[in-house]
């Protein structure tokens, strides 16, 4: 997963959860957590128990996340990359808070000129290539529920264009009735991902099977003179399968409906 995608994901996550982003550039972001987000992310149950018991003034923490390690060498903060525990914790919190959202582009119309909003269905997914090694990718794909257009990098588009989103439909705005249902969007997006995976280079799987075969041959050599293999042999054989067998997992992180103006994404 590219660092700029992580950066945009963090920006969107903390904006959506009402945390104040106090400092932001292409290398890092500094976030003032809300009380709720501090409780979810900072693992301070005794502190919050004390504050709530005594009626003290809460002091949620401020965090700096560094996404460009090379250009922010002198900056103090947490280094965030795809394998970092903090990022996976944020993914988990995102699921806890609700895997499905509905947001509206915050562009009010007027009494004479109402704003028309087009429904988009978005899925944020994690694609994992698994064997004795692991490669994870984060992808965000949107589907226009009026004309069926698919848009790769949907989440990045919203962040880069700094589109203001709200949980309530703005004044003097209306939404178009979808021609496709979200269930159809899930099927279309999954088919799109699977076709993309089929076109990918899968030499990693061939290499994994070769390493698997080599280790299995080594295991067999220890038991070559034993006619009736002990249970340990089959346990170790199964362990090798679990370690090396190539697998591809597609998991949904979250998704939602986004009602956007026609000119917003030009699709």
Q: What residue segments make up the domains of the chain, in order of their start?
A: 1-97, 100-202+246-267, 203-245
pLDDT digits (tens, 9 = 90+) for 173-223: 999 999 999 889 999 999 999 999 999 999 999 999 999 999 999 999 999
pLDDT digits (tens, 9 = 90+) for 41-99: 999 999 999 999 899 999 999 999 999 888 877 888 999 988 889 998 988 887 777 66
Residue 99 confidence (pLDDT)? 65
260 CB neighbour count, 10 Å cutoff: 24
Q: Sorting pLDDT into bands at 50, 70 and 90, what band is 152? A: very high
Using the CB atoms, write b or e for 164-182: b if 16+ within 10 Å.
ebeeebbeebeeeebebeb
pTM (predicted TM-score): 0.68
Q: How far apart are CA 250 and CA 138, in angstroms?
A: 10
Q: Higher confidence at residue 5 or residue 234?
A: 234
Q: Is 206 helix (H, G, I), strand (E, B) or coil?
A: helix
Choose the weakest-confidence range: 99-103, 119-123, 247-251: 99-103
Q: How far apart are CA 190 and CA 250, in angstroms?
A: 9
The answer on pLDDT for 1 being more than 60 is: no
Question: 100-105 and 165-166: which strand pairing?
Answer: antiparallel
- When the pLDDT of each residue in the chain is averaged and rounded to a whole number, the result is 89
Phi-psi domain of 26 (left: phi exceeds 0; alpha: psi -120 through 50; beta: other): alpha
Phi-psi domain of 153 (left: phi exceeds 0; alpha: psi -120 through 50; beta: other): left
Mean pLDDT, residues 21-40 taken together? 91
Residue 176 confidence (pLDDT)? 93
């Amino acid at each position: 997963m590219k660092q700029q995608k992580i950066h945009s994901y963090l920006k969107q996550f903390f904006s959506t959860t009402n945390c104040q982003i106090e400092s932001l550039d292409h290398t890092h972001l500094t976030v003032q957590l809300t009380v709720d987000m501090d409780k979810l992310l900072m693992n301070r149950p005794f502190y919050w128990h004390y504050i709530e018991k005594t009626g003290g003034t809460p002091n949620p923490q401020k965090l700096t996340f560094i996404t460009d390690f090379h250009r922010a060498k002198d900056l103090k903060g947490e280094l965030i990359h795809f394998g970092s525990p903090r990022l996976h914790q944020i993914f988990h919190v995102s699921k806890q808070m609700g895997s499905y959202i509905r947001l509206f582009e915050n562009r009010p119309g007027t009494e004479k000129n109402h704003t028309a909003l087009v429904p988009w269905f978005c899925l944020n997914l994690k694609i994992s290539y698994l064997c004795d090694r692991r490669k994870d990718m984060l992808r965000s794909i949107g589907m226009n529920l009026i004309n069926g257009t698919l848009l790769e990098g949907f989440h990045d588009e919203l962040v880069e264009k700094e589109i203001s989103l709200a949980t309530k439909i703005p004044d003097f705005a209306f939404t178009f009735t979808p021609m496709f249902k979200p269930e159809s969007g899930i099927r279309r997006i999954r088919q799109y991902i699977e076709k993309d995976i089929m076109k990918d280079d899968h030499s990693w799987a061939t290499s994994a099977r070769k390493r698997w075969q080599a280790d299995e041959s080594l295991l067999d050599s220890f038991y070559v003179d034993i006619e009736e293999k002990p249970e340990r042999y089959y346990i170790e054989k199964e362990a090798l399968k679990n370690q090396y067998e190539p697998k591809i997992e597609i998991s949904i992180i979250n998704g939602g409906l986004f009602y956007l103006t026609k000119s917003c994404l030009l699709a």
